[in-house]
Each structure stands twice: as structure tokens, then as C-alpha cells.
Amino acid sequence: MYQLIFILALWLTVFQPEKDSLFIIVDDCGNWEEWESPFNESLQKSSTGRRFSLGKKDDSPFFFLKHFWIEENERLEELTLSYPKILAKNPLYSSELTWEDWYKLRSANKKIYFLLPSSYCSARRFDWNSEFTVYEMYIDLTLPDD
């Protein structure tokens, strides 16, 4: 019995389902704009699902968050969670992240789920029974060629 408990504890430690995931709330809503991928229609042939991007409006013209894939096996996830459950994930807030933070997150080899401004900055966030879609996205930073 003790052995079983030990194995279970070990499994939970090593294989926590959310160990390799991270949640970010995009709370500086005015700094971002969202647009649909121009390829949604043509890509439906290989894999259905909405693709879109979130871009920063400031002086980082090539800093995007992308919910985008081409083939089905590359599909990024969507989760439906209530706001309390999202908060329980110890999310980061985009307004608090520096460029260096974004850069590290970009290659952190974790699944990163985002609560979008359109959700966070709506009154629904104060309705704790509401559920939100969080989107797995990747960080697309265009670096200079030195």
C-alpha cells in the first residue's frame, strides 16, 4: 500500500499534467490588437479551427502571440475554464512582463495559455460562474540579424 502511495506521489511529481504549462492573462488590454489569420479558410483543408494573432501595438512591430498551425498534428489547444480556475493556475500578467521575460518564455518549452484581452477586459470576468476560453499560443519575436 505504502509502495503504491509512493509511486502515485512520484508520478504526480514527475508527470503533473500542467507542470509544463503556463497561464498568462493579457491584462494590458489597450496595448494589444487581435486579428484573424488571413489563411483560416485555406488551412481548413488540413486542419479545422480558428487561427488568429495578437500583436503588440507599441514600438515592437514584430512581437506577436500566435494561435496558428498548419497541420492537424501541430494543432494548438483551447481550454474552457472559469476565472477562478484560471487564477488557481498562478497566472502571469502581461503588463508585468519585460521583453527579456517574453524572450525567455518564448523558448521555455512550455505550453503557454493566454486569456485574451477581449475576455479579461469584459465585465464577465467579475461573474465567477462565467467560463472563458484560454488559447495555447506561441510567442513570435522577430530578432535582428547582427
Where on the chain is the footprint of other proteins (CB under 8 A)? Answer: 37-39, 42-43, 53, 55, 61-62, 64, 66, 68, 70, 99-100, 103, 106-107, 109, 138, 140, 142-146
* Closest distance to other proteins from the beta carbon of 2 (Å): 41
Our CB check for other proteins shows the closer of 2 and 145 to be: 145
Q: In whole angstroms, how close is the CB of 96 to other proteins at the nearest point?
A: 18
Are 106 and 141 in contact, with CB atoms under 8 Å apart? yes
State which residue, 74 or 78, has the beta carbon closest to other proteins. Answer: 74
To other proteins, the closest distance from the beta carbon of 114 in angstroms equals 17
| Residue 54 near residue 114 (C-beta atoms within 8 A) | yes
Q: Given the complex with other proteins, which of 21 and 82 has the nearer CB atom?
A: 21
Distance, CA of 78 to chain centre = 9
Task: Kindly tell me which of 22 and 87 has the beta carbon lying closer to other proteins.
Answer: 22
Order the strands of the 131-136 sheet from edge to edge.
78-82, 131-136, 111-115, 21-25, 92-93
DSSP bridge partners of 141: 63
Q: Which residues pair with 64 in a beta bridge?
A: 55, 140
For the chain, list the strands marked E by DSSP: 21-25, 32-36, 52-56, 63-67, 78-82, 92-93, 111-115, 131-136, 138-141
Min dist. Cβ of residue 77 to other proteins (A): 18
> Toward other proteins, which CB reaches closer, 3 or 145?
145
Q: Least distance (Å) from other proteins to the CB of residue 82? A: 31
